[in-house]
Structure 1
């Protein structure tokens, strides 16, 4: 049966739409009728009516940085449980990082993910490893990736330390228009580190991670990009595209600002936990395991720099770095805890609570960061609200207040510091693949 989304706040930056309106979707999942204005569409016999009452209907959200752990660590998360968490969080698509066991460093791994993704409620895009087994030594088969529809490569969690390998990765990726995603970390500075280096790491007696380690690696990469543009590249259609993952420091943001001014094809993302928390929150927490992540929660000054970068447009995307871990990997001494937290189900709430409600960004900018820009960066098809287009929506109630509780999470893991926190704003459903899934 057809579905009528009646009197929603239609919010789609792709089409320049931010207005009250109604959309009718056919049984096949195609937008049949779009009406802008206060006059609702007349319901047809037998169709389902969803009274939106001014709540937001946006293009389906997309998270470009997730870990679903399958294959190899299904005790933490599976493709099925990760997709359930994504749908519950309002995401109709996610991009999966390749650091599974085994690493997704060949078309065989890509095919495995896609084979098991068909019946899931969300799209799973696969990011291929940049080097074989993500060891940073020999490049993975970028050309074969491209033939399988892969649009990005990364050794996430294991930044390429060798500058020659990174140079070759840029050159090889540019031949196939693949996005290079870097986890920026100079491991010679971070080895053995657990939390942000500073007063709190000293008081806790934990080895610190200096925040300059992120900018050091980013600066190396940007220097390589500039050099390649000036000396080695002759085809403007083969310029390397670079994306800095989960940026967390003011120094990194300043480098990215300058790179953009210089015309380099550079983008970056930030996570909700980095723009919400700082190392003082970790210090004051009773159980510290769920505050252990890479990059670590940084200083309050760096958090303020992230907020300013979100406000001024330096940041291109919000991504969760959804990283599930079993309880025993977090409920342990902090120096033994696994790095990372889950984030798909709290992303919308944190974005609205911490950014929109505090007038740091508008709701339209939030949708750009959570949906439009990630798809554009990943070179994926944009979502349009036009008659004849495929329907791909997220339904959002920006006013609802809700508490994060472990029993309501859909992920297989519950490693988040936001348990017990009250957030404002929540995804209340998605429409994708011809199906409405309400949360």
Structure 2
């Protein structure tokens, strides 16, 4: 693939051309020249866009595409197209499918479905067989097939001894264990945050305590095993405090936060809109503030869209019975830019790669072209017209977002809107 990007501002603190507006020549998938002006050498495809900015390719540590088994929600093919148009060159795919991805063959299958794509797909294998929380899955075999981590998506491991064994076993081959932060015997049948609004609305509450007990338990197990742990999608102020203290003790722990848990609090639930039914639930504005502060001081290592397409039949129903989940890839950049500067937003979208064994590249001559193209200077109201996913269950519908993406250049391919 050969291309010439014209008049692009580079946003990459590790680049020699950071904050400069330049032309970028790409030949055979690699950056061959960066300069103020480059004459097209061989009639290559020229890429020009309004207020064009370029950064390192973005990464999302938690996406679900449905396939195999839930293709009505999303397919791997269209999910990767969605990711590309949303600016992501790499995604970690949850084992949120039917059957659950819990074997060497399953990992091989999803990787084969993602071949020859601009977006690199990194499978996360189930931690336990069929994500039932009873017996460990084939962790080592899945590692050999290409799994980058192990996680029973949104299924907490209730047995602490099983989690202890998983941490100990995975440490033998540098495997990354992920643990969903919820104590189900405390959360019970709760569907929203247990607080004033849950009482007002008459909806069963899922208390912050349910998350914090699980986080505390897992951190004790981590300290005992001296392994490594990733806690996905924390949502409470106390969870931030617990992880901050664990890092101060040099425990090998990382965590993420879903973008919707940063931006939205439980006050949006007044109309019983099931697009806001997510797990963990939307918490209070105090929790949102603590999560944002956790990102700023480095306690929280990465953001995620926690992209989870749900078909209309399972969303447009009574709140208690609707499935959890929101799509988030398409709104990620615009949402984050309402909270942070462009520089900080790009930093958040490119962090976390090393934790999932993904190599980072810089925007310098001689480097492989792994690029996201975007315009940070436009505002618009997010609607279904902006959603490429098969499912349209977005918590950001009707929200004013700042900045839009054009697409990506990666894996020797161009994927632009």
Which TM-score band (shorter chain)? over 0.9
Please give the secondary structure, in 2, of the residue aligned with 1:19.
coil
Find the counterpart in structure 2 of residue 432 from structure 1.
410
**Per-residue deviation, 1:15:** 4.4
**Per-residue deviation, 1:128:** 0.6
Find the counterpart in structure 2 of residue 9 from structure 1.
9
Please give the secondary structure, in 1, of the residue aligned with 2:18.
strand
Instruction: Tell me the number of residue pairs that the alignment of Structure 1 and Structure 2 aligns.
Output: 416
Runs of 4+ in 1 over 6 A off after TM superposition: none
Decide whether aligned partners of structure 1 residues 355 and 418 sit closer, same or farther in structure 2, where only a CA change above 3 A counts: same
Matched, 1:65 2:62: yes
Find the counterpart in structure 1 of residue 258 from structure 2.
271
Give 2:267's match in structure 1, choosing from 259, 264, 280: 280
Which stretch of the first structure deviates more once superposed, 192-201 or 117-126? 117-126
Matched, 1:192 2:195: no
Partner Cα separation in structure 2 for residue 365 and residue 263 of structure 1: 25
CA RMSD of aligned residues (A): 1.6
1:46-69 residue CA offsets vs partner (Å, 9 max, x unmatched): 123334676321111111100101
1:21-55 residue CA offsets vs partner (Å, 9 max, x unmatched): 332101x21111133xxx32233241233346763
Find the counterpart in structure 2 of residue 410 from structure 1.
388
Normalising to structure 2: TM-score of the pair?
A: 0.96
Find the counterpart in structure 2 of residue 387 from structure 1.
365
**Per-residue deviation, 1:430:** 0.8
* Residue pair 1:6, 1:53 contacting (<8 A) in 2 also: no
* Residue pair 2:63, 2:305 contacting (<8 A) in 1 also: yes
Q: Which runs of 5+ in 2 are unaligned?
A: none
* Residue pair 1:246, 1:270 contacting (<8 A) in 2 also: yes
Give 1:223's match in structure 2, choosing from 206, 220, 224: 220
**Per-residue deviation, 1:14:** 4.5
Find the counterpart in structure 2 of residue 368 from structure 1.
347
1:92-144 residue CA offsets vs partner (Å, 9 max, x unmatched): 11111112111111011101101111133311110011111111111111211
* Residue pair 1:317, 1:368 contacting (<8 A) in 2 also: no
The residue correspondences of 1:29-178 to structure 2 (distance < 5 A) are: 29-35=29-35, 39-51=36-48, 55-178=52-175
Please give the secondary structure, in 2, of the residue aligned with 1:164.
helix
Partner Cα separation in structure 1 for residue 43 and residue 15 of structure 2: 30
Partner Cα separation in structure 2 for residue 56 and residue 92 of structure 1: 16
* Residue pair 1:151, 1:177 contacting (<8 A) in 2 also: no
* Residue pair 2:327, 2:392 contacting (<8 A) in 1 also: yes
Which stretch of the first structure deviates more once superposed, 51-60 or 426-435? 51-60
The residue correspondences of 1:195-206 to structure 2 (distance < 5 A) are: 195-206=192-203
1:349-390 residue CA offsets vs partner (Å, 9 max, x unmatched): 10112222xxxxxx333222212x221111111122233322
Partner Cα separation in structure 1 for residue 315 and residue 123 of structure 2: 27
* Residue pair 2:16, 2:364 contacting (<8 A) in 1 also: no
Find the counterpart in structure 2 of residue 253 from structure 1.
240
Partner Cα separation in structure 2 for residue 418 and residue 369 of structure 1: 19
Please give the secondary structure, in 2, of the residue aligned with 1:348.
helix
Matched, 1:318 2:297: no
1:173-218 residue CA offsets vs partner (Å, 9 max, x unmatched): 1111111112110000112111000111111111100011111101
Please give the secondary structure, in 2, of the residue aligned with 1:294.
coil
1:283-329 residue CA offsets vs partner (Å, 9 max, x unmatched): 2xx35211111100001111111111122222211101101111121
Partner Cα separation in structure 1 for residue 391 and residue 381 of structure 2: 17
* Residue pair 1:98, 1:104 contacting (<8 A) in 2 also: yes
1:134-187 residue CA offsets vs partner (Å, 9 max, x unmatched): 111111112112211222111121111111100011011111111111211000
Q: Which runs of 5+ in 1 are unaligned?
A: 230-239, 357-362
* Residue pair 1:55, 1:396 contacting (<8 A) in 2 also: yes
Partner Cα separation in structure 1 for residue 121 and residue 377 of structure 2: 29
* Residue pair 2:107, 2:146 contacting (<8 A) in 1 also: no
* Residue pair 2:4, 2:44 contacting (<8 A) in 1 also: yes
Matched, 1:338 2:339: no
Decide whether aligned partners of structure 1 residues 413 and 146 sit closer, same or farther in structure 2, where only a CA change above 3 A counts: same
Please give the secondary structure, in 2, of the residue aligned with 1:44.
coil
Partner Cα separation in structure 2 for residue 316 and residue 17 of structure 1: 26
Partner Cα separation in structure 2 for residue 107 and residue 93 of structure 1: 21
Decide whether aligned partners of structure 1 residues 16 and 191 sit closer, same or farther in structure 2, where only a CA change above 3 A counts: farther
Matched, 1:22 2:19: no
* Residue pair 2:330, 2:386 contacting (<8 A) in 1 also: no
Normalising to structure 1: TM-score of the pair?
A: 0.91
**Per-residue deviation, 1:437:** 2.1
Please give the secondary structure, in 1, of the residue aligned with 2:7.
strand
